[in-house]
């Protein structure tokens, strides 16, 4: 389901690919049955292209990767969490406009 600029995050690779990343990582916690998740997917994919090389973007299917979702208290989706240096930097809950996600990313890379 992930696009060319989007990493498929899993319970198995989360530590290495997200927490161990040199770049900030925006993780989109989603599920295939979630309508609002599908609604924000195009905006997330556009931002992945726009910030390529500055910020990594990952999608994590909460149904298939419950361990990571539980660890970061993801109770509702879509949930976007921005990780920087292995720590939660910021987060957004719900289907929000692209401009709000963009602002979250900009704050993290300044």
The residues that are catalytic are: 34, 37
Gap between the Cα atoms of 43 and 36, Å rounded: 12
94 torsion bin: left (phi>0), alpha (psi -120 to 50), beta (else) = left
Residue 93 neighbours by CB under 8 Å, 6+ apart:
76, 78, 79, 80
């Amino acid at each position: 389901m992930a696009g060319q600029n989007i990493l498929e995050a899993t319970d198995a690779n989360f530590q290495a690919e997200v927490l161990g990343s040199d770049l900030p990582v925006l993780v989109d916690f989603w599920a295939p049955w979630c309508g609002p998740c599908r609604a924000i997917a195009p905006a997330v994919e556009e931002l992945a292209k726009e910030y390529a090389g500055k910020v990594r973007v990952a999608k994590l299917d909460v149904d298939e990767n419950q361990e990571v979702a539980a660890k970061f208290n993801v109770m509702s989706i879509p949930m976007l969490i921005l990780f920087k240096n292995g720590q939660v930097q910021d987060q957004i809950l719900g289907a929000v406009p692209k401009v709000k996600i963009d602002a979250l990313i900009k704050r993290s890379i300044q």
